[in-house]
Amino acid sequence: MCPAILVAAPASGQGKTTVTTALARLHARAGRKVRAFKCGPDFLDPMWLALATGHPVHNLDLWMTGELDIRARLHVAAQEADLIIVEGGMGLFDGEPSAADLARRFGLHVLAVIDASAMAGTFGALAFGLQHFRPGLPWAGVLANRVASGRHAQMLQDALPSQDGEAASRWLGAVMRNPAFALPERHLGLTVASELLDAMARLDAAADALLSTPLGKLDSADLARWSVSFDAPTERPSIAPLLAGKTVAVARDAAFCFIYAANLDTLLALGAQVVFFSPLANDPVPTCDAIWLPGGYPELHAETLSISDTTRDSLVVHVNTGRPVWAECGGMMVLFDAIVDLEGRSHVSWGLFPGVVRMQPRLAALGPQKLELATGELRGHTFHYSVCETALEPVLHTASARGGAKCAGEAVYQRGALRASYFHAWMASSPTAAAALFLPEVLA
């Protein structure tokens, strides 16, 4: 048994990441062992949650990661934690499956965060609707965010429908507007936590803001009301050491930082040795059998990457000798001839693929995707603001999990054993298929 809360909201942008990280930081500061998870595919929020808890953060998604994997991760966390906190994705009922589906499946108690900055009585209707829209949703309570004053907070609390003299939706307090703990954003979401010198100070300020609320005053006995039993899953299939004796070099820095912790774990489970290098530091590619170029923000570092000649030249040698490379999204973008930024400036890239990647102000693609290989189905997602202009013919396409003609898949490009796509793979969904990305055989 372990107390388990899912922090959700009626929509994106309500402040649920700030509240989730604040709650995690508050209890970690109090000496409790906190384990955090993120609902849905996301790289940025887990970085903030990892900073708040001091532990790696994994993703939970009933489609992408699967129920068996979720059950295993929650069971392990419950054995060592005093509190499990899951941050929801988008709105509580958005997506198929949604955060609400996850909460109902595993008994996670929902804490609803509502941006109440422009409302009063409607706050009660919204809280009531979130609580009762789906029967059987475990409920922790509601927190008002970005509140203007104490009087405003009282109006919001009074708006909650009452039952037997008490607010049925359970008032957990109000957090006042304060730029001191705002988490800055840019086009793909939150700014990477490691880029901000005051990141921990922001989390501490947000945690301090919770101290005066009922939510911030919960002790272990209060938390116990939200305890959940996470049974051990049935035995999971063993992972064959298909990469035993292989070394996989992974690009990791501010330009290439979209790395699921589960992907690194999968490579290790496959028997690979994992080493890291930094293209931004112009590191040479380490001696290795295969390379992974994960996603990130190459467009923000295009000028530096254009002169990372040591990295580029060693990568070219690696590719020309027939050794595998798997490049995802940002990792693929830098492989083309140039990246054109939003101001129309062209930055020379590494030239392993012909064509240009062009940034645009609007989202180009978003959603769950799957890649069918002869060795299995890899699940993952796509999320990018750039478009690729190339004469190169794709060798494969991913497929949208949503289906339908309007939900196009992503191209997979190949040059020898170099494979690349906007698709972000969650490698634990099929370790056998993941291994194929790092072996020289042609994908099929």
Task: Tell how far CA 37 is from the center of its chain.
Answer: 9
User: What span, in angstroms and rounded, lies between the C-alpha atoms of 389 and 100?
Assistant: 39
Q: Which residues touch 358 (CB under 8 Å, ≥6 apart)?
A: 339, 340, 386, 387, 388, 389
Q: Is 266 exposed, middle or buried (0-12, 13-18, 19+ CB in 10 A)?
A: buried
Active-site residue, from 2, 39, 257, 329: 329
Q: 234 phi and psi, to 5 degrees?
A: -65, 160
Active site residue 388: no
User: What span, in angstroms and rounded, lies between the C-alpha atoms of 364 and 342?
Assistant: 14
| Beta strand extents in 46-182 (DSSP E only) | 58-60, 83-87, 109-115, 139-147, 162-163, 166-167, 171-176
Q: Is 176 exposed, middle or buried (0-12, 13-18, 19+ CB in 10 A)?
A: middle
How do 376-384 and 365-373 pair as beta strands? Answer: antiparallel
Least Cα distance to 82 among 134, 4, 136, 152 occurs for: 4
CA distances from 133 to 9, 100, 137, 377 (A): 13, 10, 9, 34
Asked if residue 350 lies in contact with residue 378, where contact means CB atoms within 8 angstroms, the answer is no
Q: Which residues touch 129 (CB under 8 Å, ≥6 apart)?
A: none
Helix (H, G, I), strand (E, B) or coil at 43: coil
Q: Radius of gyration (Cα) for the chain, nearest Å?
A: 23
Q: Is 136 exposed, middle or buried (0-12, 13-18, 19+ CB in 10 A)?
A: exposed
Task: Tell how far CA 119 is from the center of its chain.
Answer: 30
The separation between the first and the last C-alpha atoms of the chain, rounded to the nearest angstrom, is 45
Q: Which amino acid is at 248?
A: V
Tokens found for residue 24: 């995690």
Residue linked to tokens 């912790």: 261
Q: Which residues are marked as active site?
A: 329
